[in-house]
Chains A and B, each alone.
Chain A
Amino acid sequence: MTVAIVAVVRGFGTHAGGVMTALVTRMRALDWRAQWHEAFAGAGQAWLFVFKGVLAIGLSAWLAMRFDLAKPYEVMVTCAIVLHPNSGMVVAKSFYRVLGTMVGCLAGVLLVAVFVQERTLLLLGMALWVGLCAGGASLFRNFKSYGFVLAGYTAAIVMLPALQQPQLLFQSAVMRFSEVMLGILVATFVCEAIAPQRLGPALRASIRSQFTGFVDFVRGSLAGMLERDALQQAHLRFVSKVVEVENLRSSVVVEDAGVRAISPRVQRLNQRFMAASTSYQSLHHLMNRLQDTDHAEARTALMALFNVQAEALAQVDAEADVLAQARALEQAQADVEAPLRACMTARRAALTEREARLDFDTGAELMLRFAAELKAYAEAYEALVKRGAQQRPMARSERVFARGNDWLEAASIVVRVAVMILITGWFWIATAWPGGAFAMLLSSVFCGLLASKPKPRAAVRAMFKMSVIGVLAGFVCLFGVLAHMSGFVLLLAGLLPFLIVGFYPFSNPKLEPMARIGLLTFFLMMQLDQVMVYDVPAFTNRALGLLLGALVSGVAFQLFANPGDNRFLHQRLLDKLRAEVTRACRAPLAGARERVESASRDLFMQLIGYGTAQDEFLGWGLSVHETGRAIVDLRRDMTTAPAPLYQRLVAVVDAIGDLYATPGRASHVFARRRVASARRAAAGHSQVLQHLHLLRLALLDRESVLAQYMASADKEEQHAA
């Protein structure tokens, strides 16, 4: 707009003299205001959230005291836990929290009802329940984990007051459920009704950048060869994009019904993106493998195909609006198929050697497949972004995003947490310390919270620090400020500075979990009620109990991490990544392709999250993607093969599965031999031959991770095959 003003001003020319000066001054003022807006946009959001937070806490406290709930502070604690700047996250969390609270209350009531006379058995039952819930929380990566966390510690909260007086058990359960529900309702209402911050735009931006990033990459790399490093980096980028879109989608889907309606299309888009990027990378891998001089003919022939595709892509204007780009891309890909096929037949006729023809065929098939998948991807993007597009019914398998879960880690968490709760409980029983109940409660709360984080060990120290800060703040607020106040309005006024300091960091994603722990402990320590009790020894007991609980859960997660520390975990994740290929070999064919694409990417992201030894992971990630896809395609095509070939192909699939399950020199040689024998039998079947050729090239690639298992006598194998 400033450009327009400048143009207008210039156009007016000299006789706009004084007007011009005035306009220029106004322009500068506009710029200054725009800068001001930009600088404070982030802070404005933060202050809006502080306002919402204070409103939610005030409203929930007022309502809780009005309804005479037993523990009004629990309502405020729930508010503090649930509130989040993005309203979609609040709704998603709330839904699973309600479920978790219901299950937890039921479990608490059941446990006490069954074990009311046996305190050791009750302790055992409680430890087991909290442990199982913590294990469940670590298995799921979305909001379902909150449900498990809640179920775990709600049972503890319901049970502990009832231990001295079992007849209060049911009332305790009902009260707890009411408090949590009230907190959730208030928080959800405040976040949804007052200037809700949506994640929808973030999802749309993510999808857009996925599309533009991929198209730009393809455009840039069709011209020539890509080094292995560049390929790996690109792979990393694409995988993180895929997982980012999927994660955003799963949190946005609860936000509003508009996004829910398009959620299947987003999943389909993601699937197609994965397919297209895998094909493209396989193509470049093939080109890299054909680098040496034996295969120069095939390589130059394939480069001609690349040029055809590059010309088609050149028609897509990079500067245009993204939707227009998608439409143009779809059209270009629809048109490019005929020229590609024509170029294919022309070049193939020029090649003389059998080997060269085979290389060329494989590459050409990959190219055609990539062209088709790129078209499908553009089509899916267009269908997503265009409003009111017809909803084609989608196959279930098109929408799957499988995740890789680690049962062993979950089981170890179950054992650790249960043992820690048992130790705390034994300590409480043995010492009859009044703060012991609180310690058990807090240890179950923190264990649950830590279990749901992807990297618990890193969070332990920060959590402990924040709980100390929360305790100190609670002390200052309770005895320094609130002791002099009476009445609800003054209560809120006294809390206000602490709430502002507590809620402000929520807008920063890094600081948010810490601020949440701080607020949580703050409210837990103060125990605000209609009739306040200011008792310093009781407060100190509670504080010590809280810190002991935090310490115990920290020990459970930091000291008793998996045996052999992170190296063991890395190895396990690598094994699971490789197991995706084995699963592609052995599992039923329906949906196998989508499974192998999505699960391997999810595992890959987990591996990258650990940070170390990236090259090895990148190498295995690429290898798994490529081979997994090739195996699934081979299995699909071999159903039409005649009997003797079919037997050999089954043998090939088994051998590849064994190779990835237990990589070693023997299994590598075995796999190569099987592939060679199948190739000999597959003389007439071009599709099968191409897949076998791809597999063989992948096995013989000296730069891939499988190279370490190659025996030195590979030269004679190459000639014999």
Chain B
Amino acid sequence: MLREIAVGGLFFPALLLLFILSLALHTILDGVAARYGWYRHLWYPALFRVSVFVCIFSVLGFLLLHGGWV
């Protein structure tokens, strides 16, 4: 996978697309968790959600940059 994706002569970092993708994944996970009330077991849901997002993004980013997709 490339580090930069060219669209019509413009270069977009692939991480940007991964960011949007992880936002979407996070929203889905968030919806599921809220529906089944998992957040009730947490002390600080807000920080947990941010951390989950960071985890998702990091995982996807590492897979892109150092993973086996190359």
List chain A positions with a Cβ less than 8 A from chain B. 189, 192-196, 256-258, 260-261, 387-388
Contact = CB atoms under 8 A, between A and B. Distances in A.
B6 interface: no
Given A189-B50, A192-B49, A196-B46, A387 B34 contact: no
A52 to B, nearest CB: 12
24 contacts: A189-B50, A192-B46, A192-B49, A193-B46, A193-B47, A194-B46, A195-B46, A196-B46, A256-B30, A256-B34, A256-B45, A257-B27, A257-B30, A257-B31, A257-B33, A257-B34, A257-B35, A258-B34, A260-B31, A260-B34, A261-B31, A261-B35, A387-B37, A388-B37
A258 B39 contact: yes
Contacts of A192: 46, 49-50
A426 B27 CA distance: 47
Nearest to A196: B46
Contacts of A195: 46
Contacts of A193: 46-47, 50
Interface in B22-53: 27, 30-31, 33-35, 37, 39, 45-47, 49-50
Nearest to A258: B34
Contacts of B27: 257
A192 B39 CA distance: 15
B46 A261 contact: no
Contacts of A257: 27, 30-31, 33-35
B17 to A, nearest CB: 14
Contacts of B46: 192-196
Interface SS of chain B: helix
Nearest to B29: A257
Contacts of A387: 37
B48 to A, nearest CB: 10
Which of A192, A194, A257, A387 neighbours the largest number of chain B CB atoms within 10 Å of its CB?
Answer: A257
Nearest to B45: A256
Which of B39, B46, B47 neighbours the largest number of chain A CB atoms within 10 Å of its CB?
Answer: B46
A204 to B, nearest CB: 16
Given A195-B46, A257-B27, 8 more contacts: A192-B49, A193-B47, A193-B50, A256-B30, A258-B37, A260-B31, A260-B34, A261-B34
Contacts of A189: 50
Contacts of B35: 257, 261
Pairs A-B, 5 closest by C-beta atoms = A257-B34, A258-B34, A257-B30, A257-B31, A193-B50
Contacts of B33: 257
A603 B49 CA distance: 39
Nearest to A257: B34
Interface string B51-65: 000000000000000
Nearest to A189: B50
Contacts of B49: 192
A261 B38 CA distance: 14
Nearest to A259: B34
A113 to B, nearest CB: 14
A189 B49 CA distance: 11
A466 to B, nearest CB: 32
A256 B33 CA distance: 11
Nearest to B47: A193
A528 to B, nearest CB: 26
Contacts of B34: 256-258, 260-261
A193 B27 CA distance: 16
Nearest to B33: A257
Contacts of A261: 31, 34-35
B15 to A, nearest CB: 13
Contacts of B37: 258, 387-388
Contacts of A256: 30, 34, 45
A192 B49 CA distance: 9
B33 to A, nearest CB: 7
A256 B34 CA distance: 8
Contacts of A194: 46
Nearest to A194: B46
A386 to B, nearest CB: 13
B55 to A, nearest CB: 14
A40 to B, nearest CB: 23
Contacts of B50: 189, 192-193
Nearest to A198: B46
Contacts of A196: 46
Nearest to B34: A257
Contacts of B39: 258
Contacts of B45: 256
A193 B10 CA distance: 34
A75 B45 CA distance: 28
Nearest to B27: A257
A258 B39 CA distance: 9
B35 to A, nearest CB: 5
Nearest to B35: A261
Contacts of B47: 193
A638 to B, nearest CB: 43
B2 to A, nearest CB: 19
A257 B26 CA distance: 11
Contacts of A388: 37
Nearest to A192: B46
B9 to A, nearest CB: 10
A465 B31 CA distance: 44
A189 B23 CA distance: 13
A318 B35 CA distance: 32
Nearest to A174: B10
A192 B33 CA distance: 17
A258 B30 CA distance: 9
A668 B30 CA distance: 57
A69 to B, nearest CB: 15
A196 B50 CA distance: 12
A523 B65 CA distance: 38
A388 B34 CA distance: 11
A196 B49 CA distance: 12
Nearest to B28: A257
Nearest to B30: A257
A524 B39 CA distance: 41
Which of A189, A194, A256 neighbours the largest number of chain B CB atoms within 10 Å of its CB?
Answer: A256
A195 B50 CA distance: 13
A171 B11 CA distance: 12
A551 to B, nearest CB: 40
B8 to A, nearest CB: 12
